[in-house]
Amino acid sequence: MTTAARDILMPAEWRDFWALTKPRVMSLVVFTALCGLLAAPGHIHPIIAFTAILCIALGAGACGALNQWYEADVDAKMARTSRRPLPAGRMDREAALHFGIGLAAFSVGIMGVAVNWLSAGLLAFSIFFYSIVYTIWLKPNTPQNIVIGGAAGAFPPVIGWAAVTGDVTLLPVLLFAIIFLWTPPHFWALALFMKTDYGAAGIPMLPNVKGQRVTRNQIFGYTFPMAGAAILPFFLGESGWLYGITSMLLSGIFLVLAFRVWQNEATDAAAMKPEKQLFAFSILYLFLLFALFAFDRMVIA
């Protein structure tokens, strides 16, 4: 929080608490969790399903709030995050901490009582992993923060699956692997054209520590196992031709865009068009991939 923000602390509004939950990130979490739930075999009552997704959304919101509580000073140094409630002085850190802890406890408790304790345990671990392991330990200390920390964002479809079945089998593990392997090229593409921001905040993102060439190599390298994991459900007979063909097409486009990033030698953010294209497509890629997987599973089931 800046000095000016500390001197003049404006009262927080509901919009500020909403912003603490990182709604854009939450939307992707909720969507992949819903796809995992819809793809799972068996039946779940609509009210229980709604409760499960709501708890996952609240858990994601808890992660966002706890992340912003811990990184308030870092956020103040980055243009992309300086207008968030804490660095902008619209909320004090204690309120954000209490809000995050409250959301976490409520979401896990309701999930356990209303759905099942396996899904509640997975939700609790994902909140712990993102808030403690990633935010406090990995992110400020290692350029591999996104690689290991990507596990936190990969849990939602597994939790959605477990909410229906009460177990975890190979298929939800594959869904986990897709997001886990997707996370590095997605975030490193962003880190390439946001290098200055991350540098100002002192966050050891890969482009700042190892350089842009290493980062581009890593982006291209991770794309291959990601594509393999995305296509694997079809070859294992866990999906139909709709998902199989589409996953190959989408992964092919991803590979082409990653190859263009690998070829690019630009050091100026303004000239990083391939990186910006890959980052934008990566979001669409994950949405389409999971939507088609859930639809395909529901149709062939």
Minimal CA–CA distance to 55: which of 104, 121, 118, 126? 104
Amino acid letter for position 213: R
pLDDT tens for residues 151-192?
999 999 999 999 999 999 999 999 999 999 999 999 999 999
Minimal CA–CA distance to 88: which of 20, 187, 161? 20
Minimal CA–CA distance to 124: which of 143, 137, 108, 110? 108
Task: Please say whether the beta carbons of 78 and 198 come within 8 A.
Answer: yes
pLDDT at 3 over 90: no
Mean pLDDT over each residue of the chain, to the nearest integer: 92
What pLDDT sits at residue 5?
44
What pLDDT sits at residue 2?
45
What dotted CATH number matches 11-145+155-165? Answer: 1.10.357.140
Q: What is the 3-state secondary structure (H, E, C) of 278-294?
A: HHHHHHHHHHHHHHHHH
pLDDT at 280 over 80: yes
- Residues 71-84 have a mean pLDDT of 90
Minimal CA–CA distance to 294: which of 175, 183, 159? 175
Max Cα-Cα span within the chain: 61
What pLDDT sits at residue 7?
43
What pLDDT sits at residue 301?
54
Task: Please say whether the beta carbons of 233 and 293 come within 8 A.
Answer: yes
pLDDT at 11 over 70: no
| Domain regions of the chain by residue span | 11-145+155-165, 169-301
pLDDT tens for residues 23-77?
999 999 999 999 999 999 999 999 999 999 999 999 999 999 999 999 999 999 9
- Residues 187-213 have a mean pLDDT of 89
From CA 241, how far away is CA 243, in angstroms rounded?
Answer: 5
Instruction: At 232, list the tokens.
Output: 């694997």
From CA 206, how far away is CA 142, in angstroms rounded?
Answer: 8
Q: Give the predicted TM-score (pTM) of the model.
A: 0.92
Task: Count Cβ atoms within 10 A of the Cβ of residue 249 and give its class: 0-12 exposed, 13-18 middle, 19 or more buried.
Answer: exposed
What pLDDT sits at residue 6?
44
